[in-house]
Amino acid sequence: MVFSDLFFLYVFLPLCLIAYFVTKKSKNRNIVLIVFSLIFYAWGEPLCIFILLFSTIVNYFIGLLIEKHYERTGAKLAVALALIFNLGMLIVFKYSDFIVGNINYFTGASIPLPNIALPIGISFYTFQIISYIMDCYWGTVKVQHAYPKFLMYVSLFPQLVAGPIVRYSVIEDEIDNRKITATDIKEGAFRLMVGLAKKVILANNLYAIVNTFFIGNDISNLSVGGTWYTVIVYSMYVYFDFSGYSDMAIGMGRIFGFHFDENFRHPFISKNISEFWQRWHISLGSFFRDYLLYVPILGRPRKYLGLFLVWFCTGMWHGASWNYIIWGLYFGAFIFLELKLGKKRMKKWPVWASHLYSKAVIIIGFGIFCFEDFGQLGQFFLNISGISMITNGSAMFDTITWTSFLNNFFLFAASVMCCLPVLPKLKDFFNSTNKRFATGQILSTVSCCGLLVICTILLVNATNNPFLYFRF
């Protein structure tokens, strides 16, 4: 089931909200969320729900073992078992074809590919479970004794299939004690509509441009300007698609009384790559920082080896393909260079130079992210560097690209504008006085209704267009 689907918006979610608010006790509300979350997950992949349930049962008992043997060898063995089980699940379901394919390529073997279907959301809920296990081991959270509550934490449908990766510590108290105010419902509904608009109005239409020039097309004849134009559009598409899902998840969580952490904070305004990754997919970045960066390598923590291990894993997490690993190491290399340069030196750069540097690195990085085929990826580099003008006789600009830009000018301009922190500035403005606050409440309500109407119209005849991060 997809958030940007009329059935979800007008049937599933309303029924869930009615059942949720009809009940009063947190225990009964938790049961409602569990039932609807399992229905949500099983809707498209009914067999995969058994994998989710099996994973939660195993890790629930591992958590109890950690508590029973706390600060003893048994707890370490329990953590080791959890890591082997959870990472093993990821390897089997997500990376088995990749591993076998590379063995075949490098050894000349002919081992049949397993072709195991990837359960939606396994990367997200597995990392949530690992964070819970590690926090239990470190004593930063209490072990959950009630399996239904643990199941609800893992399976909560707003964030189940595409994040954000919610730490148990974030909602530990709210599992049993959550108060829902009118402000929570209002703010949650507004955030939900903003996320829906990002997906339906911006991301889906930006993808149509990307599909015209990049996806499944030979880009060897694409001009230099056309390549830059399309990869910029692709960068914004990925941002609005993924941040739109996160906004919807955070908004729905707020309506249900949960306060998830932010996952995006306007990453394209960053002046360097380190700042970009403090603003982009924050829940994944913080996961690797807290649980992997300081892992001992050859007997002790090693700053730079740990850094590249984090970025190798960041790339690997995104998909079973070498371009994602290259993508992760590419950003890791720039963060390494920025660490060596130092913050003081970089602050001396002119603002325009900082933005030019960061945007160029980020946009080229999304080109690496886009092309799994190495032939296409190599051609992308030839195009974007201008070398294709010599090797292929490609043009600097072409009529088709220019026509596409003119036809989609307002979409392009609106997308660029929405990459900037416009909404937070407007919110601060309307919250500055009581009179402005009242006006802001009216405008936000009208905006919510307007966005819902526009998105509904666009979705009536829309084909299935799932969120990009469902793949991961």
Q: What is the 3-state secondary structure (H, E, C) of 50-99?
A: HHHHHHHHHHHHHHHHHHHCCCCHHHHHHHHHHHHHHHHHHHHHHHHHHH
Is the peptide bond prior to 114 cis by the omega test (within 30 degrees of 0)? no
| CA distance linking residue 55 with residue 129, whole number of Å | 9
Structure tokens at 273: 């790559």
3-state secondary structure of 300: strand
List the end-to-end C-alpha distance of the chain, in Å, as a whole number: 16
Which residue in the block uniquely carries the two structure tokens 């793949």? Answer: 471
Distances (CA, A) of 459 to 4, 132, 189, 358: 8, 37, 19, 35
Distances (CA, A) of 363 to 270, 359, 370, 425, 447: 12, 6, 11, 26, 31
Backbone angles phi, psi at 373, to 5 degrees: -75, 125
| CA distance linking residue 339 with residue 465, whole number of Å | 39
Residue 353's region, left for phi above 0, alpha for psi from -120 to 50, else beta, is: alpha
Does residue 318 have an active-site annotation? yes
What sign for the dihedral angle of Cα 386, 388, 390, 395?
negative
Q: CA angle at residue 243 from 242 to 245, to 5 degrees?
A: 65
Could you say which of 145, 259, 281, 318 is catalytic? 318
Active site residues: 318
